[in-house]
Amino acid sequence: MDPRGDHGAVGTGGTRRAGGTGRAARHAGAPGRGGRDRTPVSGPQDGISELPFFVYGTLRPGEANHTRHLRGRTAAEEPAHWPGGLLYDGPGWPWALEPGPGGHASVSAGVTGTLVTAAPGRYRRLLADLDELEEYFGPGHPRNLYERTVREVTRADGTPVAAWVYLTAAGPAAGLRANGVPIPGGDWLTRHPR
Per residue, what are the HEC states of the chain? CCCCCCCCCECCCCCECCCCCCHHHHHCCCCCCCCCCCCCCCCHHHCCCCCCEEECCCCCCCCHHHHHHCCCCEEEEEEEEECCCEEEECCCCEEEECCCCCCCCCCCCCEEEEEEEECCCCHHHHHHHHHHHCCCCCCCCCCCCEEEEEEEEEECCCCEEEEEEEEECHHHHHHHHHHCEECHHHCHHHHCCC
Q: Is 152 a catalytic residue?
A: no
Catalytic residue (choose from 63, 132, 134, 135): 134
Residues with a catalytic annotation lie at: 134
